[in-house]
Amino acid sequence: MIRNGIDRLEDVGGRLLGGRRVGLITSPTGLASDFTSTIELLHKHYHLAALFSPEHGVRGDQEAGALVESYTDSLTGVPVYSLYRKDSKRLTAEMLDQVDVVVYDISDVGVRYYTFIYTMLYALEDCAGAGKPFVVLDRMNPLGGAAVEGNVLKPGYLSFVGGYPLAVRYGLTAGELAMMASSEMGWNAELHVVPCEGWERGMLSPDTGRLWVPPSLGMPRFESALLYSGTCLFEGTNVSEGRGTAMPFEMIGAPFIVDPHRLAEEMNRKQLPGVRFRPVYYKPTASKHGGLLCGGVQLHVTDAHALLPLETGLELLYTIKNSYEEFAFLPPIKEGGRPFIDLLGGDSLYRDDRVKLPDLLEQFREESAAFALRKQAYHLYK
C-alpha cells in the first residue's frame, strides 16, 4: 500500500506537533488516504492555530491567478491568512507570531510553472529566518521522480511561475525539493520531511492505484497534468491552451487555425512517442478566445511513460508558429516586464527566431541531464 506523509502523521505527529501552535499551508489535495482533509485531522488532534492559503485558496474556491484575502475558515473557525496577496506572497512576522511550527501538505504536479512549490519555498525561507520549524508532509510526484525534461531556469528570469533554478519537469517530491533549496540556498532551516511509504521514483500517478484529486480546476485529469509540462507554454502566446473547456492543456487551438485536420496530420507525421493528435473545434467559455470558435488539436496520451510532454509541447508550438502568420507571443503583462513566455521558459530562447527547434531540444536535453545528476543528492526514494 502506498501512503503519503499525512497517512503517517500518527507515527511522528506527537514529536513534531504535540503541544505546539500549528500553522498549515494546504489546499483541497491535502487529504489522507480515506479522504479526510489534513485541516480536519490537525484541527482534531493538534492545536491548529492558523491556515495559510496558496493560490486557489485552502478550499479551492478561487480561480487561477485570483488574489486571495484573509478570512476565517467557516468549518473550523481557524483564521486563514493569504499567501497569494497583491502586495506579497510571503509569511509576515505577524503571521509567524501566531504559530510555533508550519506544516505544508499540498499535492503538486511536478512542473516548474506550478505555483504551489514557490509558496512552499518562500514559507520555508521565512520560517528559517524566524527560527520556526517547517514540516513537509510529503506526497508522491504524479509525474514520477525519474524523468526530467527541459531547460533550467536562468538568473534574471525569476518569477512566481519560476522561482527556483529547476528543470521544467523536475522529478522531485515537495519534500526533496525543500531539502534541495534549504541546502543550496544555505537557509539552514529546521526542516522535517515526513516521507511517503511504498512509492518508487518510476511510478506515475496511475501506477499508484490512488484516485486523482485535481490540484486545481485546470488539472481535472492526470493527462492534463502530464501534458501541462509542454502545453502550458501556450499561455505565453495568442493560442488557446484549452482553458474554458473541459480539457485544459489537452486541447490547443485558435480562431486562425481554420484547418485543424492539416495541423493534426502534420503533428502525427512526426511520430512523437506516447501521443496522438486529433483535429478538433471548440469554443472556450472563458479565458483566451472566450466564445470564439477555435480550430486545433486534442493531444491523446497513448503511453504516459514514453511521452515527452515538454518536447511534444515545443514541437506543437513551433509547428503552429511556423505555419500561421497570425501566431504571436503575448507582450509583457506590465510595462518594463518580461514577456510571459520568457517567465514560463526561464529564458528568452523560446522566442528567439535564430534558434532552431532541434538545437533548442538538444540544449534542453543537456541541461535536464545535468539537473538530473544535481538532484540525486536529495532523493528520499528508490
Distance CA 254, CA 238 (A): 8
Say if residue 48 is in the same domain as residue 182: yes
Residue 171 and residue 144: Cα distance in Å, rounded? Answer: 6
Evaluate whether 91 touches 74 at the Cβ level (below 8 Å).
no
User: Tens digit of pLDDT for each residue in 102-128?
Assistant: 999 999 999 999 999 999 999 999 999
pLDDT in tens, 252-292: 999 999 999 999 999 999 999 999 999 999 999 999 999 99
Task: Establish if 200 belongs to a structural domain.
Answer: yes
Measured CA to CA, the distance from residue 103 to residue 22 in angstroms comes to 7
Lowest mean pLDDT among 47-61, 63-77, 96-110, 242-256: 63-77
| Contact indicator for 300, 337 with CB cutoff of 8 Å | no
* Contacts with 354 (C-beta within 8 Å, 6 or more apart), sequence order: none
pLDDT at 63: 67
232 and 196 share one domain: no
Please tell me the predicted confidence (pLDDT) of residue 257.
Answer: 98
Sheet order of strands, 294-301 included? 251-254, 294-301, 275-282
> According to the model, what pLDDT value does residue 217 have?
87
Q: Which CATH number is 308's domain given?
A: 3.90.1150.140
Give the pLDDT confidence of 123-149 residue by residue, as tens digits. 999 999 999 999 999 999 999 999 999
Considering the domain architecture, whether residues 209 and 278 belong to the same structural domain is answered as no
Q: Exposed (0-12), middle (13-18) or buried (19+): which is 333, by Cβ within 10 Å?
A: exposed
Instruction: Please check whether residue 113 lies inside any domain of the structure.
Output: yes
**How many Å is the Cα radius of gyration of the chain?**
21
Instruction: Give the CATH number of the domain where residue 36 resides.
Output: 3.40.50.12170
Domain membership flag for residue 131 = yes
Domain assignment present for residue 304? The answer is yes
Residue 61 has pLDDT above 80, yes or no: no
Among the listed residues 155, 89, 158, the one whose alpha carbon sits nearest the alpha carbon of residue 126: 89
Q: By the 8 A CB rule, do 30 and 106 touch?
A: yes
Higher pLDDT: 372 or 1? It is: 372
| Residue 79 scores a pLDDT above 80 | yes
- The rounded distance, in Å, linking the Cα atoms of 360 and 17 is 47
Are 209 and 226 in a shared domain?
Answer: no
How many angstroms separate the CA atoms of 243 and 83, rounded?
24
Q: Has residue 236 been placed in a domain? A: yes
**360 in a structural domain:** no
Q: What is the pLDDT of residue 333?
A: 87
Total of domains in the chain: 2
Could you tell me the three cell numbers for 107?
A: 499535492
Is residue 362 domain-resident?
Answer: no
Cell numbers representing residue 69 in the block: 484575502
Query: If you average pLDDT over every residue of the chain, what do you get?
Result: 96
Asked if 185 and 235 sit in the same domain, the reply is no
| Together in a domain, 159 and 268 | no
Q: Could you tell me if 87 and 197 lie in one domain?
A: yes
pLDDT category of residue 86 using cuts at 50, 70 and 90:
confident
Query: Which one, of 287, 302, 300, lies nearest residue 242 by Cα?
Result: 287
What is the pLDDT, as a whole number, of residue 3?
A: 96
Is 80 within the bounds of a domain?
yes
Strands 191-194 and 167-169: unpaired
**In whole angstroms, what is the distance from residue 112 CA to residue 160 CA?**
10
Cα distance between residue 55 and residue 89, in whole Å = 9
Cell of 198: 511504498
Same domain, 176 and 324: no
* pLDDT of 65: 64
How large is the average pLDDT for residues 332-357?
Answer: 94
Are 70 and 182 in a shared domain? Answer: yes
Tens of pLDDT, residues 22-46: 999 999 999 999 999 999 999 999 9
The overall pTM is greater than 0.85: yes
The domain in which residue 70 lies consists of 5-214+374-378
Give percent of the chain above pLDDT 70: 99
| pLDDT digits 0-9 by tens, 171-187 | 999 999 999 999 999 99
- d(C-alpha 36, C-alpha 282), whole Å: 37
Question: 46 and 168: one domain?
Answer: yes
Q: Classify residue 67 by burial, with Cβ atoms within 10 Å: 0-12, 13-18, 19+.
A: exposed
95 and 192 part of one domain: yes
Q: Is the pLDDT reported for residue 380 higher than 90? A: yes
Q: Indicate if 230 and 195 belong to the same structural domain.
A: no
